[in-house]
């Protein structure tokens, strides 16, 4: 039975957002982030006003202490009372059989496996998981369980909605949280993909060659003619470009930027490396006395 709508909100001043609040800018900037937000708005349902208040809370940074672990999300949301509300979101975890079928489906499509191993989330990956019997994104209310310690029994309350929007921006930054939400760590999934691509068999052991005795005279002699090596170095169009792109690291206290302070040192080191590679003698220091050519003694 649905609980009655809560109408007893406090009329006092609302507690300010915490200093460590997760203030979002825009959730759903990637295709997987958009899919998550769409799942929130469709699966959770609820009136548009609650979702809008949840977005406001998320933008204000009222959600904090977000933790995603083993298919369970916990967070705290600072609302109208001094004590933050506890929010929990749980998704159905696929079993080992569903995960095995999903991994097999990903390996069957080389582009999917290669994209994942490269650290990206391939499009249409949810179709593979749906075919395996467990989608990545919730498609029904039965796949999603939410709770909040606030007195509002609405489904969802604005604190749950705020946590979902914050989670959507977290997914934009790290798409592998989708696996974590379904009970599998990123490392577990990638390792399963590697094993499946390798056929699950360890590489054959190389046969050990019989030891060959070497005389001291032969020790330093090459067994075959060494290949010729050729080097080509071109001076960069702009020196110190990488230092300028990286900017000042945390803790940099010098009044001058790193590119200005370290640039001459990096350029001198590069020039020395070029001379060593090309076997060019280093020029004598400017303050060294000039050597006199041998001649008749005076």
Residues 6+ apart with CB under 8 A from 57: 63, 77, 79, 158, 159, 161, 162
- Is residue 206 in some structural domain? no
How many domains does the chain fold into? 1
225 within some domain: no
Residue 136 domain flag: yes
| Tens-digit pLDDT profile for residues 81-124 | 888 999 999 988 888 899 889 888 888 877 887 788 777 788 88
**Cα–Cα distance, 62 to 77 (Å, whole number):** 5
Say what angle helices 110-117 and 186-197 make with each other, to 10 degrees. 140
The verdict on residue 21 lying in a domain is: no
Asked if the structure places residue 159 within a domain, the reply is: yes
Q: What are φ and ψ of residue 291, in 5° steps?
A: -80, 135
244 lies in some domain: no
Confidence of residue 4 (pLDDT cuts 50, 70, 90): very low
- Dump pLDDT digits (tens) for 208-263: 556 556 566 666 676 677 677 666 667 666 677 777 766 777 777 888 888 888 88
- Provide the residue range defining the domain that includes 170: 31-197
Q: Is 294 exposed, middle or buried (0-12, 13-18, 19+ CB in 10 A)?
A: exposed
* C-alpha dist (Å) from residue 279 to 99, 270, 274: 58, 14, 8
Is residue 284 domain-resident?
no
């Amino acid at each position: 039975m649905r609980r009655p709508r809560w109408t007893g909100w406090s009329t006092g001043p609302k507690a300010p957002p915490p200093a460590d609040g997760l203030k979002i800018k825009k959730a759903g900037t990637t295709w997987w982030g958009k899919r998550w937000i769409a799942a929130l708005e469709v699966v959770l349902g609820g009136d548009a006003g609650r979702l809008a208040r949840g977005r406001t809370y998320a933008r204000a940074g009222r959600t904090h202490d977000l933790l995603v672990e083993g298919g369970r999300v916990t967070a705290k949301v600072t609302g109208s009372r001094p004590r933050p509300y506890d929010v929990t979101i749980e998704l159905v975890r696929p079993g080992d059989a569903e995960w095995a079928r999903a991994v097999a489906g990903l390996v069957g499509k080389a582009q999917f496996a290669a994209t994942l191993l490269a650290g990206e989330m391939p499009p249409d990956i949810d179709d593979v998981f749906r075919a395996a019997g467990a989608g990545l994104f919730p498609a029904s209310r039965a796949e999603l369980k939410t709770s909040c310690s606030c007195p509002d029994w609405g489904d969802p309350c604005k604190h749950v909605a705020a946590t979902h929007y914050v989670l959507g921006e977290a997914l934009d930054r790290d798409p592998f949280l989708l696996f974590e939400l379904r009970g599998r760590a990123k490392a577990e999934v990638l390792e399963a993909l590697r094993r499946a691509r390798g056929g699950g068999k360890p590489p054959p052991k190389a046969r050990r060659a019989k030891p060959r005795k070497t005389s001291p005279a032969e020790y330093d002699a090459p067994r075959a003619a060494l290949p010729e090596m050729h080097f080509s170095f071109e001076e960069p169009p702009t020196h110190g470009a990488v230092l300028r792109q990286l900017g000042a690291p945390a803790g940099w206290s010098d009044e001058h930027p790193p590119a200005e302070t370290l640039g001459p040192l990096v350029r001198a080191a590069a020039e020395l490396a070029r001379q060593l590679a090309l076997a060019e003698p280093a020029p004598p220091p400017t303050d060294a006395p000039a050597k006199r050519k041998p001649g008749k003694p005076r």
